[in-house]
A and B are shown apart, each in its own frame.
Chain A
Amino acid sequence: MAHGLALDHAAWSSPWRSRSVRDKGVLSLGLLVAAISLPAWPGGAAVAVAGLVLLLGPIRVGWARLGRIIWLPVVSILIGVATVAVSVSWDGGLRLQLTSEGIDTAGRLAVRALAATLAMFTLACSTPMIDLLSALRHARVPDALIEIAALIYRFSFGLLESAGAIHSAQEARLGYATRSAAMRSASMGVAALFLRSWDRARRLEAGLVGRGYEDALRTLEPPRQRSAGFVAASAALLVAIAAGAVAWQVLT
């Protein structure tokens, strides 16, 4: 789970944490839309470069952390791209072959998926989940739904810690030494985790009801910095990428 925690840690420690979610949303979602709607070359490639510069520059993710968080999506993209590149046919038995069309599609897909992943990271590495949920509350998403999402987020970290502790304890007792022992340990771990989550929820409910909990667990939100200049610069970057992609198409 190291890469997962790395994403969350990056978000909490980002210098852009204090920026408003609206401002960051314009930039990140704009890059995301550009990544999937512009031609992979040069539009998608430009989005990938912009995402990389933002992550390593102002968002200050760092190469080491970026490597930890990006390896999983890169592996998923490579498996998918390889599958797209290879063509199958059944003329006289199963035949696998590489076609120029398949390779071309796979190449464009790899650039587009990597660009979109980096664009999504600009939001994920600069905005903690709690800030996103607060933004959704301001967007009038019903309280009950935000409440459940926020509780899932809060419960998840305690349960992840429990899952790790259970796994370590089982491993130390040779619980994963054989296939049958591993299956038994995994099932006991899942059941223990389920009961623990159930029990924590019940105890939390009892504690909160005693303190007057009725509808929502609202907390004070630190002031967020809204900047028209940031939004204008984001829009300018997106327009430049789109215009560059269109101009390239026209010229070539």
Chain B
Amino acid sequence: MHIAEGFLPVAHCVAWYAVSAPFVIHGARKVIEQAKEHPESRLLLAAAGAFTFVLSSIKLPSVTGSSSHPNGTGLGAVLFRPPVMAFLSTIVLIFQALLLAHGGITTLGANVFSMGIAGPWIGYWCWVGSNKLGWHRNVGVFLALAFADLSTYLVTSVQLGLAFPDPVSGIAGSVAKFMGVFVISQVPLAIAEGILGVLVFRLLTDVARPELERLGVIKPSMSEAVAR
């Protein structure tokens, strides 16, 4: 769930655009560099962006009985790194706003910060941290996807809390209020997305190992490395 069109006051819209802009510009530069060095990667990046966009059409079963859709940026952050996801998420959010009426143009800066910057970076740190601690790959994937999803909604709650402080309990009360609304659907969904990510990653390592090795997501197995 993104912040809807027109929901934030003007000052907040401008501020979130200003905060997100350096990350998106950095990501765009990385994408341009990558496109110059490896022209073939443009199509793969576009495929990744389209995949993230289409993920929002796939319904996931949720513990509460309702269903929702995956966030998708956690998997993207593990596969393509967070700077690239900042740029790809911006395009995906523009498409979601103009093609699905989900999110908005005035709230794009805020939504990019939560879904394209905070979510991917926190998910990526979970993945890197888990690898450094020597935990099983599945644990890293689960944590990356679940925390990318959760942190996106945590940041969204803070953004809404800052914009609409509660008349009685202030900003803290408002943040807690928005978190309370999101927690009903997002905690089960984050767990479901983490489990889904583990299953997807296992399938990918079986059938798309060369691609994952080329992206540097997994190391080549010893026997294959020797054979090369």
Question: Which positions in A face B, CB cutoff 8 Å?
Answer: 1, 3-4, 7-8, 32, 35-37, 69-70, 72-73, 76-77, 79-80, 83-84, 86-90, 97, 99, 101-102, 105, 109, 112-117, 119-121, 123-124, 129, 132, 142, 144-145, 147-149, 151-153, 155-156, 159-160, 163-164, 167, 176, 179, 182-184, 186-191, 193-195, 197-198, 200-202, 204-205, 209, 214
**Given A101-B167, A121-B101: A194 touches B204 (CB 8 Å cut-off):** yes
Interface of A is mostly: helix
CB distance from B149 to the nearest CB of A (A): 14
A186 touches B92 (CB 8 A): no
Number of A-B contacts (CB under 8 A): 232
Interface string of B53-94 (1 = CB under 8 A from A): 111011111000000001000000000000000011001100
Contact A148 B42 (CB under 8 A): yes
B115-146 contact mask (Cβ, 8 Å, vs A): 1 or 0: 00000000000000000000000000000000
B-side residues, CB < 8 A to A, are 1, 3-10, 13, 28, 31-32, 35-36, 39-40, 42-51, 53-55, 57-61, 70, 87-88, 91-92, 95, 97-102, 104-106, 160, 164, 166-169, 173, 176-178, 181, 192, 195-196, 199-200, 203-204, 207-208, 211
Known: A36-B10, A200-B47. A8 touches B101 (CB 8 A): no
**Dominant SS among interface residues on chain B:** helix
In contact, A90 and B98 (Cβ under 8 angstroms): no
How far apart sit A156 and B94, CA to CA, in the bound complex (Å)? 13
Q: Which residues of A contact B4 (CB under 8 A)?
A: 73, 76-77, 80, 113, 117
Closest Cβ of chain B to A32, distance in Å, is 6
In the complex, A194 Cα to B93 Cα: how many Å? 19
Q: Which residues of B contact A1 (CB under 8 A)?
A: 57, 100
Please state if B104 and A116 are interface contacts (CB–CB under 8 Å): yes
Residues of chain B lying within 8 A (CB to CB) of residue A201: 43-44, 46-47
**Complex contacts, B176 vs chain A, CB 8 Å:** 88
Contact partner of B101 (CB less than 8 A), chosen from A73, A115, A149, is A73
